[in-house]
Amino acid sequence: MDFYFTNTQSKKKELFTSQDNNNVTMYQCGPTLYWDQHIGNLRSVVLADFIVKSLHAAGYKVNFVRNYTDVGHLSGDNHGDADQGTDRMEKAAKRESLSPAAIARKYRENYEKDISLLNTLPPTETPSATEHIEEMQEMIDALIKSEYAYTTPLAVYFDTTKANDYTRLSGQKIDEQIKDSGHGLVTDPEKRNPQDFALWFFRAGAHEKALQFWKSPFTSPLTQNGEGFPGWHIECSAMAKSLLGNTIDIHMGGVEHISIHHTNEIAQSEAANKKEYVHYWLHNEHLLVDGSKMSKSSGTSYLLKDIIEHGYDPLSLRYFFLQAHYRSKQNFTWEALEASSVAFLRLRKSVRSLPKDGVFDQELYYEFLSGLADDINTPRALAVVHKILKSSIKDADKKATIVKCDEVLGLNLTQSDSGVDTFDTQQDIPKSILKLANERLEARRAKNWSLSDEMRDIIRKNGYEITDVGDSYTIVQLS
């Protein structure tokens, strides 16, 4: 089946052709490990998972790399102030009185737990920036020798005036790039151009007391040594080259990466490698909350644990993400999540009720794949699943077909949600306990948390432990 992707660089929907037959190389910019990832960041992980699983369903083998940033991402980087700001890892280390390495371990574990609950496949490789310092230095050295980079007392910079068609990904004119490149003070007077970005920061000036630093072959005229740390942009270029080669089939990230981070990746990779860096650039749009950008200060930067604490199955959130195209903005509200949860649990219950041992319908499955082949149109693919339920084929064949589709959707549609309907059939759970559990479930759905806690205590005093599972529960007898 032919696959089509909308390529950010060409601004067109293009037929996908991998470099190596059915083998695909794919890179996604991963998280900076300084804080727990909000559901907008988790949406990008789930959307990449849909793409990988869709390619698998079409017969491709995907070598998928998602990195971890554990050094070098300054607070100014996202705004184009590439020579400014505090290293996010260092800021978190001071905030929590831990080492940067301990901060990275903590938030990596939290992140991996979250994406596991969202039923995403682990990438083929998950490199950390600090594991690839040598490869970064080699790339920077090559850029210096070819005069694409220059050294000041404070840093090694990439000279963007020498890049080939520097802003072709964003389509910005260079004067707009300069105008939008940040509003802070320029801390390095020897930086040649406002849009030049740091490849390596010396342990000097604002970074004189950097907590993370390495020796390097570069020399600062100020410190007479090369101790320092890499800039954020060079990290992805070096890791991608090391694990996937000079040219990647697919590179994915959020739309916020287009004008700065990915633009800089292209410039330095192609200058160092003398080859096209990426064939297909895919970018997912933002997740809004109540129609606005997520904000910690306004309390809308929700985490997955917030979703769970509100009584929702994490896969209800995955179902919610399925309902919008990856290149479209999606608006999160608790009402929208509730509607998605109801639809998801109803779909799962319908699929579970179907008989087993059927044969999947190739025509309907092909229709499902056709939606995904059209730029990963998940709303269209999801509509086919509901069409299968209403179709005239045998019930057992419906189940087999939907189970086949669920290999991509990742909703675990045949898995019990451990809900009330399951426990009503268990003879070893007293009806009085089930009645209390059902009443408690209604209290949770009404967000009456004090009553919910009170009823949990009553159930425990009667010798049973109740555990919340999304919009449902499990019960076990205490020994």
The verdict on 271 and 313 lying in the same domain is no
| Pairwise CA distance, residues 233 & 145, whole Å | 19
Burial class for 205, CB neighbours closer than 10 Å (0-12, 13-18, 19+): middle
478 is written with which tokens?
A: 């205490």
- Say how far residue 263 (Cα) sits from the centre of its chain: 19
Q: Which pLDDT score is estimated for 25?
A: 98
**Mean pLDDT, rounded, for 161-190:** 75
The verdict on 124 and 52 lying in the same domain is yes
Residue 427 lies in a domain: yes
The verdict on 111 and 74 lying in the same domain is yes
Residue 386 lies in a domain: yes
**Closest residue by Cα to residue 195 from 170, 227, 220:** 170
| Pairwise CA distance, residues 363 & 452, whole Å | 47
Residue 289 lies in a domain: no
- Using one digit for the tens of pLDDT, what is the confidence trace for 97-153? 999 999 999 999 999 999 999 999 999 999 999 999 999 999 999 999 999 999 999
The verdict on 446 and 360 lying in the same domain is no
Which residue type is seen at 117? L
Q: Judge contact between 242 and 132, C-beta under 8 A.
A: yes
Q: Phi, psi (5° rounding) for residue 352?
A: -65, -30
- Using one digit for the tens of pLDDT, what is the confidence trace for 408-463? 999 999 876 544 333 333 445 787 888 888 888 888 878 788 898 888 889 888 88
The verdict on 328 and 402 lying in the same domain is yes
Give the least confident one: 146-160, 167-181, 343-357.
167-181
- The residue out of 360, 375, 409 marking a domain boundary is 409
- The residue out of 409, 442, 469 marking a domain boundary is 409
Residue 277 lies in a domain: yes
The verdict on 26 and 89 lying in the same domain is yes
**Mean pLDDT, rounded, for 299-312:** 91
- Using one digit for the tens of pLDDT, what is the confidence trace for 234-247? 999 999 999 999 99
**Domain count for the chain:** 3
Total count of residues recorded for the chain: 479
pLDDT band at 274 (very low <50, low <70, confident <90, very high): very high
pLDDT band at 52 (very low <50, low <70, confident <90, very high): very high
430 is written with which tokens?
A: 């007293």
Residue 223 lies in a domain: no
Helix or strand (DSSP H, E) at 324: none
Q: Which pLDDT score is estimated for 311?
A: 86
Give the least confident one: 364-368, 448-452, 472-476.
472-476
- The residue out of 409, 434, 453 marking a domain boundary is 409
**Mean pLDDT, rounded, for 258-263:** 95
Q: Which pLDDT score is estimated for 79?
A: 58
Q: Which pLDDT score is estimated for 322?
A: 96
Residue 210 lies in a domain: no
Q: What is the model's pTM?
A: 0.85
The verdict on 249 and 319 lying in the same domain is no
Residue span of the structural domain in which 427 resides = 420-477
| Pairwise CA distance, residues 14 & 11, whole Å | 9
pLDDT at residue 476 is higher than 50: yes
Average pLDDT, the chain: 90
The verdict on 33 and 132 lying in the same domain is yes
Q: Are strands 330-332 and 287-289 parallel, antiparallel or unpaired?
A: parallel
pLDDT at residue 291 is higher than 90: yes
Q: Which pLDDT score is estimated for 443?
A: 86
The verdict on 270 and 389 lying in the same domain is no
What does the angle CA 189 – CA 195 – CA 198 come to, to the nearest 5 degrees?
70
Q: What CATH number does the domain containing 396 carry?
A: 1.20.120.640
Residue 152 lies in a domain: no
More confident residue, 46 or 475: 46
The verdict on 274 and 126 lying in the same domain is yes
The verdict on 252 and 399 lying in the same domain is no
Collapsing DSSP to helix, strand or coil, 35 comes out as coil
| Pairwise CA distance, residues 305 & 302, whole Å | 8
**Mean pLDDT, rounded, for 82-86:** 67
Residue 374 lies in a domain: yes
The verdict on 241 and 342 lying in the same domain is no
Q: Which pLDDT score is estimated for 424?
A: 35
